[in-house]
Chains A and B, each alone.
Chain A
Amino acid sequence: MAVIEVRDLRRTYRSRTGIRRTSVKDVEAVRGINFAVEKGELFGLLGPNGAGKTTTIKILITLLLPTSGTALVLGHDVVRETRAVRRRVGYVFGGDRGLYERLSARDNLRYFSELYGVPAREQSRRIGALIEQVGLAGRERELVEGYSRGMRQRLHIARGLLHDPDVLFLDEPTIGIDPVGARELRSTISQLIEAGKTVLLTTHYMFEADELCDRIAVIASGRIVAEGSPKELKSRVSDGHVLEVEVYGLDDRSVAAVRGVDGIRSVSVEARDQAQILAVRAASGAEVTQAVLRCLDGATVGRVATREPTLEDAYVELVGEGRS
């Protein structure tokens, strides 16, 4: 039996604007998604902002009701058996909010221990072990209001593990953390999997998903557009190559012209310092370099290179298809 089972899950938000002339707009955040996560698996949900990742997690941790469809966590329905689900799942989100600023780290953990029903005789040992584990030992009696973003995120992780949950939902846990902290956090996530936990992770960072996830579902505009292991997803674009061009003064007209070149599957632009990096994913065997450079007439071209596709390229292509 799958630990997480999602069937035809949909969630629509209704938003109202205006005071006198109210207009109502329905936004479909999740549009009939299906996936299953097995015990001990680290499953990644990848997608751009507003794709429906957080909505899906909130439904699975019982904070949101689905508009239709079903979701089971450890065999419990997330709508009807909320307490059974809440007892066995942990939830950690990224960012520096979600903590009691005027309490110490220890008291934050103590409060949630009470809410999760961790027995008094176990609380002290457990909190001490988690504080040690997340590297806050020595700082645990300081008020959280003085904590750095990384320290807060580590405290979030400790809070999510307090009741030793079977399933952990991590919603962009490394966002805003420095590279060293993020690497340590990834190491902790790997340890959780080794300890037999099931983890559902959302992230924007492709290398993170590539490094950690057993399987990934790419979600765009509320739909799952691809699902598979990082290797399988990469193989979808591995028959082609990526042309990367460093450009100064790239305009929208040039990008549109590049998109029109034969043999090009997708195009993305990333700002890097003063330059823009134009990444052109081309089909296998397509010679597009000269045609692309001709489209950049008027802009200053720097370094030009070709490389093998990465998971990020697969993601960009899949998300692009999902949106169109």
Chain B
Amino acid sequence: MRVVLAEDLFLLRDGLVRTLREHGFDVVSAVDNGPSLLRALLEEKPDVAVVDVRLPPTFTDEGLQAALEARRHHRGLPVLVLSQYVDQLYANELLASDDGGVGYLLKDRVTDTGQFVDAVRRVAAGGTVLDPQVIGRLLSRGDARGTISALTPRERDVLELMAQGRSNAAVAAALHFSESAVAKHTASIFAKLGIAPSTEDNRRVLAVLAYLRR
């Protein structure tokens, strides 16, 4: 699987390249600034891009802008964005940038290699991966507004993991449920929130996110 990587700090870039290679990814280009990133994305058209939000030359949201720009040229180009902090506004912009896999994770998540590599694969496969902190804030907002008050605590846990973009199997493993129990909870959540159920994993995630972001 071909990966383009953008990270301006050498130590981190080196670490990420190593981690990705160890897990069988082919890092075709590892760049350290916004313009090179855009060029690499347009020329290499990788299977997935792993991008730091803040890059030279402006040290603002250069990486995010390059990724969004590349997605306008190559529709559905999967992008996993890493950042020292997560912001709902950036999450919204990524989710709104046409279809195809997107991910938005705190940089710290790379310290858990297993989870990180899994996230890269899910995004490459067209899935949606959102940092637990983004989902956590959406849920606490939902709590305060009473939009998810109908859910049982168990269902809320399932909703949280589902919104992060996990599959039924992953939710089941994380909560020590059986997969069929997760399926039952999911059906109940969708019925309570009035979301049309969908058999396709990613569409389901997007429906949940759309509900939470209202």
Do A and B interact with each other, yes or no? no
- Which B residues are within 8 Å of any A CB, using their own CB? none
- Which A residues are within 8 Å of any B CB, using their own CB? none
